[in-house]
Amino acid sequence: MSATAAADIQLDAAGRLRHFLTIEGLSRELLVRIMDTAESFAGVTAQNVKKVPLLRGKTVVNLFFENSTRTRTTFELAAKRLSADVLNINIATSATSKGESLLDTVRNLEAMHVDMFVVRHAQSGAAHFIARHVAPHISVLNAGDGRHAHPTQAMLDVFTIRRAKGRFAGLKVAIVGDILHSRVARSEILALNTLGVDEVRVVAPKTLLPAHVEALGVVPYHDLNEGLRDVDVVIMLRLQLERMGTAFIPSEHEYFQRFGLTEKRLEKARPDVIVMHPGPINRGIEIDSAIADGPRSVILQQVTHGIAVRMAVMSMAMHSGPDMEVPA
Amino acid sequence: MSQADFDVETLLARLEVSLREELARRRLDDPAMIGVHTGGAWIAEVLHRRLGFSEPLGYLDISFYRDDYPQSGMNPDVRASKLPFRVDGRNIVLIDDVLYTGRTVRAALNEIFDYGRPAEIVLGVLIDRNGRQIPIQADCIGGRLELEPGQRIKLTGPEPLQLTIRTGGR
């Protein structure tokens, strides 16, 4: 799908977010607005009552065709902190396993007057497909589709970078690992380039890089020591062993020898480097425990920020009406 | 209210006196002050200094608590609410610039109660104008104003703070 077509579906006539399916085609201004809104939601945790009434009376359906405890939980918590009712559809025991089509499932849920679908699916484009077919009042958020996109993960990552560094200009960011199978990496690259970082590097063995990866606006490296030189941010990716056969890497041990993040390797980066990982971590395969649990790791902050960012995207997508000055 | 009464300094001085009297009358020791973004925060910053409050000033952005949110959508300029003190059992002075429909104050009260249960709340506003839609009234005011339907009063600032009456729009 072209950037324009994707943006056409995601934005309403006034250019406001209606669905959130991909970073592609979204403006820097909109990405900044999502982060600014998330910043306000981060303050909600300071309240005794960690809820705001924005989505009171709305029903959010977590439609997860792929397992993901962390992403589903943070979407659920985000919806609940917005005071929405949340329905988690267990796809393994749902009607789709009895032969009902995806659209039939969606139509049945629509008939129950739900307001938002959070969709995770192994098939690229599944969230777009649903967004094209839902009733006009329903918003669709992509919680990861195939190898295509994981836009809320990308937004929580750039939000974490902005909180740690205070800026994007002048930053060098290295994304390390299984770029080929990673929808997170694709969305992150789009977000980082839109927000104007100096350089996005991808560091991986050739077998784990897509062909013509430079076209995404990145500089490829096959040597981790080189790829980490002077970077401000390192994003380690999970080795998606379930998506690959044996041909991609010789062994987990050898992968760690060449591409695992260790204290010694991290010395090549800038002294104030931050280390990120979308989780779940394969300790000792992608990253040394000393780094994952160390002072430069912001991995758990990413999880916390994920709730605020998802609250921002949900509230922005749910109500994209005209902004009005409010009488006091 | 005459044209001379639109002088913000005069209104602020009246509100300050009114607040001093009300706090003394109700014997509210060591209260904390909260300003409602944006105009209320500007007013609160001045009053907080003049009244010599010991606690830092708190700020509320009531965007997430607006009752017209389903119609109007997300405010593109949301600021984080910040209450740098415990609300539970505290006496609070809540400051806004204009009291009109009462909906902003209702939202602000809802948000304050999500931080804790205050002991007492004193509401001070620079301008109390006609047009109430819900039963909320201020304890302390700088001035009262009757406006025609379609007219509204707007505070701009923070330097300088100025009041202007506009016609049309919401």
Question: What chain A residue is nearest to B64 in terms of C-alpha separation?
Answer: A54
Query: From the CB of residue A60, how many other CB atoms can be counted at a distance below 10 Å?
Result: 26
The string of DSSP codes covering A228-255 is TTT-SEEEE----GGG--SSS-S-HHHH
Determine the distance in angstroms separating the CA of A244 from the nearest CA of chain B, rounded to an integer.
42
Report CB contact under 8 Å: B73, A40.
Answer: no
Sheet of A116-121, strand order: A85-90, A59-64, A116-121, A139-145
Type of residue at A154: A
ipTM rounded to 2 decimals: 0.82
Provide the shortest C-alpha distance from residue A17 to chain B (in Å): 10
In degrees, rounded to 5, the angle at the alpha carbon of residue A241 between the alpha carbons of residues A235 and A243 is: 100
* Cβ atoms within 10 Å, residue B49: 10
B16 band by pLDDT with thresholds 50, 70 and 90: very high
Diameter of chain B measured on Cα atoms = 43
Chain B: closest CA distance from residue A153 (Å): 21
Put simply, the answer to whether A324 touches B72 (Cβ < 8 Å) is yes
Contact between B78 and A40 under an 8 Å Cβ cutoff? The reply is yes
Regions of chain A where pLDDT drops below 50: 321-325
Q: Strand ranges (DSSP E) for B30-111?
A: 32-36, 58-60, 91-99
- Across the interface, whether the CB atoms of A52 and B70 are under 8 A apart is answered no
Name the DSSP class of A296: T
Pairwise CA distance, residues A64 & A280, whole Å: 17
Q: CA distances (Å), A164 to each of A156, A274, A287, A303, B59, in order?
A: 12, 8, 20, 14, 24
- B70, B72, B88: residue with CB nearest A322: B72
Which pLDDT does position A282 carry in this prediction?
Answer: 86
DSSP β-ladder status, B151-156 and B162-167: antiparallel
- Report residue A239 CA to chain centroid gap: 16
Express each pLDDT in B21-67 by its tens digit. Answer: 999 999 998 899 999 999 999 999 999 999 999 999 999 999 899 88
Q: Alpha-carbon distance A156 to A309, whole Å?
A: 6
Question: CA-based diameter of chain A, in Å?
Answer: 66
In this prediction, residue A265 carries a pLDDT of 95
- B67-116 pLDDT, tens per residue? 877 666 666 677 888 999 999 999 999 999 999 999 999 999 999 999 99
Tell me, what DSSP letter sits at residue A261?
Answer: B
- With an 8 Å Cβ cutoff, are A40 and B81 in contact? yes
Quote the pLDDT of residue A326: 52
What pLDDT is stored for residue A324 in this prediction?
A: 40
Q: Give me the pLDDT at residue A315, please.
A: 94
Residue A144 known to bind ligand: no
Work out the number of other CB atoms within 10 angstroms of the CB of residue A193: 18
Structure letter (DSSP) for residue A325: P
pLDDT confidence of residue A247: 59
End-to-end CA distance of chain B: 22
User: Hey, are the CB atoms on B80 and A42 less than 8 Å from each other?
Assistant: yes
Establish, for the pair of chains A and B, how many residue pairs have beta carbons separated by less than 8 Å.
89
Would you tell me how many other CB atoms lie within 10 Å of the CB of residue B102?
A: 18
State the DSSP H helix or E strand holding residue A9, giving kind and residue range, or none if neither: helix A3-10
CA distance B140 to chain A (A): 16
Residue in A249, A233, A307, A247 with CA at minimum distance from that of residue A282: A249
pLDDT at position B5, please? Answer: 54
- CA–CA separation, B2 and B140 (whole Å): 19
Contact A124, A147 (CB under 8 A): yes
pLDDT-based confidence at residue B13 (cuts at 50, 70, 90): very high
Report CB contact under 8 Å: A328, B83.
no
pTM (2 d.p.): 0.89
Element (H, E) at A183: helix A183-195
Nearest neighbour of B73 by CB, restricted to A39, A40, A319 = A319
Chain B residue closest in CA terms to A47: B115
